Amino acid sequence: MLSELLKRYPQLEICKHTLTEAVSAMIDCYKNGGKILLCGNGGSCADCDHIVGELMKGFLKKRPLTNEIKEELTSNSPLLDAETLGKLQCGLPAISLPSITALNSAFCNDVDPELIYAQTVMALGNKKDILIAISTSGNAKNVFAAAKVAKGLGLTVIGLTGTNGGKLNEIADMCIRVPETETFKVQELHLPVYHYLCAAVENEFFKD
């Protein structure tokens, strides 16, 4: 899977080691019962939602519920029917922090706009979790603030940036620095990177 990514995007060879580390960290997170939080601005905000979409439902695989899960669900809720259970899919828990608009707008207005993601991490984060902090420059103030709080809470921080890494490179446990500096070019490489991450993690938990 990684070899296919690097064949299609040979410029990402420089990120090979960090990509492998990030996949391992995400797999460990889910095996330990954790979740993934994500934050970013603008196009990176949209990327957060995109990643959540790939993790929370089938991406490259269908992820049907196992018989064991179906039995537990119907035991607790007998009104669940076979048709519904046949359509539901197993998900990997992930939350796009920018999508929590009511909280973000309230905190922005009432307290400090630079701390909107930091506050959400403070409320939702625990040591089993990962924060994926996306910033093309690596210097987005609200994203960096979230990373600082995440580290304080004991979360693993994965940075996704351009080639310089910025402040995120200094604080993240691992920083995937794609080899571009212009914002749109960085974002063009972020897409195949996080598609790879999602596919690799999905493949670990859903074999069929």
pLDDT in tens, 19-72: 999 999 999 999 999 999 999 999 999 999 999 999 999 999 999 999 999 999
Axis-axis angle for helices 43-56, 183-205 (nearest 10): 10
**2-61+91-205, superfamily in CATH?**
Glucose-6-phosphate isomerase like protein; domain 1 (3.40.50.10490)
Go through 82-112 and write b for each residue having 16 or more CB atoms within 10 A of its CB, e for each that does not: eeebeeeebebebbbbbebeeebeebeeeee
| Secondary structure class of 174 (helix, strand, coil) | strand
Sorting pLDDT into bands at 50, 70 and 90, what band is 207?
Answer: confident
Q: Distance between CA atoms of 126 and 109, rounded to whole angstroms?
A: 26
Residues 162, 137 contacting (CB under 8 angstroms): yes
pLDDT in tens, 111-129: 999 999 999 999 999 999 9
pLDDT in tens, 146-171: 999 999 999 999 999 999 999 999 99
pLDDT in tens, 79-107: 999 999 999 999 999 999 999 999 999 99
Reply yes or no on whether the pLDDT at 208 is more than 90.
Answer: no
Q: Distance between CA atoms of 158 and 35, rounded to whole angstroms?
A: 13
Q: Distance between CA atoms of 147 and 7, rounded to whole angstroms?
A: 32
Query: How many other CB atoms are there within 10 angstroms of residue 135's CB atom?
Result: 26
pLDDT in tens, 126-138: 999 999 999 999 9
